[in-house]
Structure 1
């Protein structure tokens, strides 16, 4: 039986690329149990796909994601508040998949990325922002800690001092400050965001497989290892890649173009 189409996500699947858009624009793409369930099914499917080369994530409407829809979550929980830790762990597992899947993931942050929405974006390998995007971790204003990996991922992206500042003060960070801090790697005018996402996704999609997976794995693991072990990961990756004829053809084409000078033409 074919799985039901997600009701809270817009999905486009080309076979080698999967585009995911959070699709509750009237609610600023806030996360309900239904959204988490849809994300769970879609990301679990990505893990089983050998044909996919890249996954993208964005939001429909003016916001990327306004975080958890606490009104909807509270109504669904009713008085069973004791279940709270268990579903947080499930949500964290769903967010982790964006970081762990073999395919590189690209977040196109089209507007506010708040709370769990920012935590979801931080799990993606590449983060591009519209100049209209803003970022915040306001959970501490409610007396709760960012709880789906946000503290550790924000600290890895920005450093501990900036992460503590942002989390403890709940302040709003604009796109340019987010770029300087390392929350995102690019900021583009809002009307160019889709074009920029297309260009980045197409570049990743063209890479010989699984070189993109090996590269993101090396970047994720390398800083936590001593330099020798980090270099070992790189060497093992290239031992696999250099067995592929496609790679040798790429090396030949690169050399024929005189290396980096050829890239500037």
Structure 2
């Protein structure tokens, strides 16, 4: 069932398992799923349109590449039709530029919402904004031809689409700095070794491996998965003793629910 199809983004929900699995597809393969402000608005809309039945959302790209990053028109004086060019933004008030970038970031923020586990299925290039979109998801399954690169610094910019926080958490500060500052490619095998990828499979097996992971996630009780995701996300901000308290509180809620006692 297709719920959204606009500006190179398609949202579908599988009717099996009571609509527990949704797929967001980057559907502009002729441009290797290059991103634009219109695509970012469509990605944000996909998050808003996600039905409450969805427990797992898969993000994939059609064609040879997951996403080759920002459409090069962004770096021209003309920019995108009907959009302020990046150069115009730079010349305008700082508050306006901040507000526009914050709007762009909305395409990347909802993937870590507490009630859904998100999986990026990555093949080919995931460059710049494409890399950051893959990082926005909770989990990443990569084809053996996947290539990640953070090119922003090489262009005199910084990664500003929410990718820096998950990158540091996944690979550590020193590796993250080296990846971003050099702009080099991180190939699939290295991505798995350093924690960027949960799993690397042959290109022909990417869809099946992603579906298997989604099915395994749906098999567990939903509320237990939600509580576990919240615990693990919060562990990044808590110290050891605070995490112990959080674990006890979460387990108390689960035991009350299983006993039919409510909160």
Q: What TM-score do the two structures reach when normalised by structure 1? A: 0.85
Partner of 2:156: 143
CA contact (8 A) 2:4 2:11 kept: no
Task: List gaps (5 residues or longer) in structure 2.
Answer: none
Partner of 2:62: 60
Whole-angstrom CA distance in 2 between matches of 1:142 and 1:215: 39
Which 4+ residue blocks in structure 1 deviate beyond 6 angstroms?
none
- SS of 2:211 mapped into structure 1: helix
Match of 2:53 among 28, 51, 54: 51
Q: How does 1:244-263 map to 2 (within 5 A)?
A: 244-245=257-258
CA contact (8 A) 1:131 1:175 kept: yes
Partner of 2:72: 70
CA contact (8 A) 2:108 2:136 kept: yes
Match of 1:112 among 106, 125, 138: 125
Q: In the alignment, is residue 33 of structure 1 matched against residue 28 of structure 2?
A: no
Whole-angstrom CA distance in 2 between matches of 1:246 and 1:135: 46
Whole-angstrom CA distance in 1 between matches of 2:192 and 2:215: 22
Q: In the alignment, is residue 96 of structure 1 matched against residue 109 of structure 2?
A: yes
Deviations 1:84-125 (A, max 9, x none): 432221122331111124211011112211111111111211
Whole-angstrom CA distance in 2 between matches of 1:146 and 1:136: 11
- SS of 2:220 mapped into structure 1: coil
Partner of 2:88: 80
CA drift at 1:197 = 0.4
Shift in CA distance, 9/101, structure 1 to aligned 2, threshold 3 Å:
farther
Q: In the alignment, is residue 9 of structure 1 matched against residue 12 of structure 2?
A: no
Whole-angstrom CA distance in 1 between matches of 2:224 and 2:6: 31
- SS of 1:19 mapped into structure 2: strand
Whole-angstrom CA distance in 2 between matches of 1:7 and 1:132: 26
How many residues in Structure 1 have an aligned counterpart in Structure 2?
Answer: 243
Partner of 2:27: 23
Partner of 2:198: 185
- SS of 2:106 mapped into structure 1: helix
Partner of 2:212: 199
For the aligned residue pairs, the C-alpha RMSD in angstroms reads 2.0
CA drift at 1:242 = 2.5
